[in-house]
Amino acid sequence: MNNQKNMMHTLPVEAYTSKKWFDLEQEHIFSKTWQFAGLIEDVENAGDYISVQAGLNNIFVVKGRDNRLRAFHNMCRHRGTQLLRAVGKGQKAITCPYHDWTYDLEGKLVSIPKKEEEFPDLCNKELHECGLNLHEASVDIFKGMLFVHPDKNAPNIMTFFGEVEPYLGPHIPEELIEYQKNKDEPFYAKEINANWKIVVENYIDQYHLAHLHEGTLNMYDHAKAEFGWAGPHYHFYEPLVPEYLADIKNASPFPLIDKMPENKMGAYVPWLFPNIGITESESAWNTFHAIPLAPDRTLVVIRSKTMNVSEWEYTKQYTKSMTSKVWKTIGNKGKYEGDASDPMASGDFMAEDVYACEQQQKSLSSPFFSVGAQAQKGEFAVSKFQSVVKEWIEKHRNDA
Amino acid sequence: MRNFYQLKILGIKKETEDSTSVAFDVPSELYETFNYKPGQYLTLKFSINGEEVRRSYSLCSSPVLEEPLRIGVKRVKDGLVSNHINDNLKAGDTVDVMPPDGRFFADVKKDSYKTYYLFSAGSGITPILSILKTVLLTEARSYVHMIYGNRSQDSIMFNTELNALQEHYSDRFILEHTLSRPKSNWSDLWKTSKEQSYRKGRVDTDAVKWFVNEYPPYAQNAQYYICGPGTMIENTKKALKSIDVPEDRIFIESFGGSASVDTTKAYENAKLTAHLNGETIQIAIPQGKTVLRTLIDAGKKPPYSCEGGVCSTCMCKLTSGKIHMNNNLALSDKEVEQGYILSCQSIPLTESIEIEYE
Ligand SMILES: Cc1cc2nc3c(=O)[nH]c(=O)nc-3n(C[C@H](O)[C@H](O)[C@H](O)COP(=O)(O)OP(=O)(O)OC[C@H]3O[C@@H](n4cnc5c(N)ncnc54)[C@H](O)[C@@H]3O)c2cc1C
Ligand code: FES
Ligand SMILES: [Fe+2]
């Protein structure tokens, strides 16, 4: 921060390029917030589990026979070995692969091989009273999504998300079903060569919609967008353009979300701090998870849900949408002319965003780089997000 | 020590064929004293046939509503006090009432985000109703999943109030009725509410497991509150533990009275030495009397309230001799090991015993 020139808006440029900042964020943001862990159907039956990396912690979530979820740090108390792999079903106990120490689904240590011989002095009480049970974490559900927090006494999830809830769409994700192109794979997953905050700032930047996406997102009426902040979270809504709205029943690519009121058709696109966006539109409901991998690398995983109706309904809707005149004039034209392999000519808004993010990241190492100006409305969210990041780190650094 | 206060009965309402609710008028200078947490009970004192008797009754009103303190009393066959209340009390009477007490209560906070599982049967609805109303009103984001067992449609206490709550809070209050002997001819009350349906059977292991499966928690901080007669509490708790509900999330309130017939014989005319309020009392324990009753009959003032082995108010320490407790729903194994006893439940097993109230 010694050189005032090298600033983004509120954060220094090094916050987007340095290992030092990456580590600070891992410790004080991603290890001290509720972290997206999946969708509730990922842990459907008793004994099913998933494990996720949440900042510095690897946490697994398992469902008990009482239908309540439990979360534990995925780490054997013996020598720390990670216990569980990504996903699994119907587990009755958790055994460490290294020395077979075994825990029950309440995280209690229930067996140690050769206990008497090898650990005669460990403790003379029951195993689960020896202080070697799994470290507990927290898990809760918000809008059909699973969230974990490394602290077993985490502040309750609604004190974190409650403020933004009224601004979210009417969608009930629990009632929708996941749309997968390939079985057990998310709708979209891609490593982007940009800092995670560049990705977030792109997501919450209203100013770029009418420009970068002039030919791809023009079924939404950007001029009528309503957006702002609720706590550390960003909320955004914009209606459909009249042309699309007029033919929505035919033009929609998927069956319409039944919870969308006809007089408020549009897209809700909130960003929940720190790293999970939701895209709640007239026909789909998506999670957009930005996972920092390195100062200049971010994995984006999108999962998509649509109406729980028959294949036939989808086919009918697809046919109607294909033949709707609406798409002749809007929705899928690239900004540049050219080959579809060029993101800017692809007609795919996601490819356009990735391109813009990567192009911006490239310039951050230039000694000539600086942010020249900020659109006071359309880019307000960008600097606001940076101050939320900054304040969160400062607050939690001082608490430590 | 807690004292009795004379409270005037504001109103009495017949709830079902065999139950009544009693509302008390608490004068403003006693508001503080009679402040309570949802789930707690009052202890009432009566003199019936020349004998002083006390009974505890859970408050079914909510401390966060502008409503008078209210209890709901169900007749117990041949029961002394429950029938006295149902038969004889009327608005305007005064009753000796001890301020609210009890360890069974929900810690209700505005910002909490929880799923409350409420299991109740029969008159066990009273503290559950108080918790229910308080949670719904105070915790705008919490969910309540409740199952309520009764004999038939007619014996459901507070049915109208429950229906109104269900209607008003339909997005986060689930109520399932289970009836052990449902009437096939629906009562008028029953017919007026369109969608009311019930399950057949008691609140037993099957019902509990079915209920928890049918209504999984949304908010993951779940708590389980149980109150009901007979074996309902034990069965519910067992069912919950069999599906791994952690003990520290389960809260129970027993009304007592369900101890199986106890045939333990007391040592006849055992000598009691009791240290109470700085006095040393020596007296013989008549056949069939508890330690507590012996002291009360001798005109002494030992602490007690429920006289049912539930509240632990009558707790004292046994310093010599042996006793037997007819019913102990209050003391932990550890406390018993340390020599603590419930004097309201204790009969002597040795020629002499010595106790000390602390
Ligand atoms: C903390 C607490 C809260 C209570 N809250 C309520 C309440 O909200 N509403 C309510 O109606 N009662 C409640 N009770 C029960 C109440 O205190 C009395 O025990 C009950 O009214 C019976 O008293 P009685 O004098 O009529 O019967 P008693 O004359 O004492 O007993 C007559 C016979 O009935 C049996 N018996 C005693 N109590 C019960 C019982 N509860 N169920 C079945 N059989 C019994 C006895 O073993 C005896 O055989 C509560 C008890 C406790 C300890
Ligand atoms: S008076 Fe309540 S346990 Fe004895
Ligand atoms: Fe974009």
User: Does some domain include residue A165?
Assistant: no
Question: In the beta sheet, which residues pair with residue A142?
Answer: A145
Nearest to A104 by CA among A146, A62, A163, A53: A62
Which pLDDT belongs to residue B2? 67
Between strands A233-239 and B198-200, the pairing is: unpaired
Closest Cα in chain A to B246: A106
> How far is C-alpha A75 from the geometric centre of its chain's CA atoms?
24
Which pLDDT belongs to residue A6? 85
Please report, rounded to a whole number, the percentage of residues in chain A having pLDDT higher than 90: 83
Asked if B288 and B345 count as a contact pair (C-beta separation under 8 A), the reply is no
* Contact B216/A at CB under 8 A: yes
Quote helix, strand, coil % in chain A, to nearest 5: 30, 25, 45
* pLDDT, average across residues B337-344: 95
pLDDT tens digits for A322-377?
Answer: 999 999 888 778 888 888 889 999 889 999 999 999 999 999 999 899 899 999 99
CA distance B106 to chain A (A): 17
Count of domains for chain A: 2
- DSSP characters over A249-279: HHH-SSPPPTTS-GGG-EEE--EETTTEEEE
* pLDDT, average across residues B86-94: 97
State the Cα–Cα distance between residues A126 and B293, nearest whole angstrom: 42
Which pLDDT belongs to residue B104? 95
CATH 3.40.50.80 intervals, chain B? 115-254
User: Does some domain include residue A52?
Assistant: yes
pLDDT tens digits for A182-213?
Answer: 888 999 999 999 999 999 999 999 999 999 99
Lowest mean pLDDT among A28-32, A124-128, A136-140, B256-260: B256-260
CA distance B201 to chain A (A): 21
A137 and A210 belong to one structural domain: no
State the Cα–Cα distance between residues A197 and A195, nearest whole angstrom: 5
Band (pLDDT 50/70/90 cuts) for residue A125 is: confident
Please count the other Cβ atoms lying within 10 Å of the Cβ belonging to residue B102: 21
CA of B354 to the centre of ligand 1 (A): 29
User: Does some domain include residue A131?
Assistant: yes
Domain boundary pick from A129, A157, A185: A157
Q: Among B43, B88, B255, B312, which is best to mutate for testing ligand 1, by the most ligand atoms less than 8 A from CB?
A: B255
Lowest mean pLDDT among A239-248, B215-224, B323-332: B323-332
CATH 2.40.30.10 intervals, chain B? 5-101
Q: Considering chain B, what is the average pLDDT of its residues?
A: 92
- Angle CA B288–B292–B295, to nearest 5: 100
CATH 3.10.20.30 intervals, chain B? 270-356
Which pLDDT belongs to residue A122? 86
Which pLDDT belongs to residue A3? 47
Q: End-to-end alpha-carbon separation of chain A, Å?
A: 22
* Contact B212/A at CB under 8 A: yes
Within 57-116 of A, beta carbons closer than 8 Å to B belong to 64-69, 105-106
A249 and A340 belong to one structural domain: yes
Q: Do A66 and B113 touch (CB under 8 A)?
A: no
Which pLDDT belongs to residue B196? 62
A372 and A284 belong to one structural domain: yes
Please report, rounded to a whole number, the percentage of residues in chain B having pLDDT higher than 70: 95
* Contact B23/A at CB under 8 A: no
- Residue carrying the six token digits 């650094």: A397
Q: Is B277 helix (H, G, I), strand (E, B) or coil?
A: coil
pTM, whole model, 2 decimals? 0.89
* CATH number for domain B5-101, candidates 3.40.50.2300, 1.10.357.10, 3.90.850.10, 2.40.30.10: 2.40.30.10
CA distance B162 to chain A (A): 26
A105: CATH:
2.102.10.10
Output A227 or A121, whichever has higher pLDDT. A227
State the Cα–Cα distance between residues A223 and A207, nearest whole angstrom: 10
Model confidence at A236: pLDDT above 90:
yes
* pLDDT, average across residues B51-55: 91
Q: Considering chain A, what is the average pLDDT of its residues?
A: 94
User: Does some domain include residue A19?
Assistant: no
Six token digits for residue B260: 């199986």
Which pLDDT belongs to residue A85? 83
B39 DSSP 8-state letter: T
Q: End-to-end alpha-carbon separation of chain B, Å?
A: 11
Range B213-219 contact pairs with CB under 8 angstroms and sequence separation of 24 or more: B213/A67, B214/B176, B215/B145, B215/B174, B216/A67, B216/A68, B217/A67, B217/A68, B217/B115, B217/B117, B217/B143, B217/B145, B218/A141, B218/B115, B218/B143, B219/A140, B219/A141, B219/A158, B219/B113, B219/B114, B219/B115, B219/B141, B219/B142, B219/B143
pLDDT tens digits for A42-99?
Answer: 999 999 999 999 999 999 999 999 999 999 999 999 999 999 887 888 788 899 989 9
Please count the other Cβ atoms lying within 10 Å of the Cβ belonging to residue B121: 27
* pLDDT, average across residues B218-240: 95
Q: Which of chain A's residues have a Cβ under 8 Å away from the Cβ of B113?
A: 140, 156-159
* pLDDT, average across residues B192-212: 83
A108 and A210 belong to one structural domain: no
Band (pLDDT 50/70/90 cuts) for residue A1 is: very low
**Ligand 2 binding pocket, CB closer than 6 Å:** B 304-314, 330, 342, 344
- DSSP characters over A305-324: EE----HHHHHHHHHHHHH-
A258 and A117 belong to one structural domain: no
User: Does some domain include residue A245?
Assistant: yes
User: Does some domain include residue A23?
Assistant: no
Q: Which residues of B211-225 are buried (b: 16+ CB within 10 A; e: fewer)?
A: bbeebbbbbbbbbbb
Q: Which of chain A's residues have a Cβ under 8 Å away from the Cβ of B141?
A: 158, 162
Band (pLDDT 50/70/90 cuts) for residue A148 is: very high
Pairs across A and B, CB distance < 8 A? 44
- Residue carrying the six token digits 């403790």: A123
How far apart, in Å, are the Cα atoms of A255 and each of A155, A350, B317? 38, 22, 73
Lowest mean pLDDT among A4-8, A136-140, A212-216, A334-338: A4-8
pLDDT tens digits for B271-327?
Answer: 999 999 999 999 999 988 999 999 999 999 999 998 888 889 999 999 999 999 988
A361 and A218 belong to one structural domain: yes
Q: Among B313, B328, B346, which is best to mutate for testing ligand 2, by the most ligand atoms less than 8 A from CB?
A: B313
Domain of residue A352, residue span: 177-395
* pLDDT, average across residues A110-115: 92
Nearest to A133 by CA among A114, A150, A112: A112
A267 and A334 belong to one structural domain: yes
A224 and A133 belong to one structural domain: no
Question: In the beta sheet, which residues pair with residue A122?
Answer: none
B41 DSSP 8-state letter: E
Asked if B173 and B136 count as a contact pair (C-beta separation under 8 A), the reply is yes
User: Does some domain include residue A3?
Assistant: no
Six token digits for residue B287: 């056949």
Residue nearest to atom 4 of ligand 1 (CA): B57
CA of A20 to the centre of ligand 3 (A): 28
* CATH number for domain B270-356, candidates 3.30.70.60, 3.30.1490.20, 3.40.50.1820, 3.10.20.30: 3.10.20.30
Model confidence at A255: pLDDT above 70:
yes
Q: Which of chain A's residues have a Cβ under 8 Å away from the Cβ of B116?
A: none
Please report, rounded to a whole number, the percentage of residues in chain A having pLDDT higher than 70: 98
Q: Which CATH architecture has domain B115-254?
A: 3-Layer(aba) Sandwich (3.40)
* pLDDT, average across residues B55-84: 96
B59 DSSP 8-state letter: B
Nearest to A316 by CA among A255, A261, A269: A255
Question: Residue B102, by phi and psi: left (phi above 0), alpha (psi -120 to 50) or beta?
Answer: left
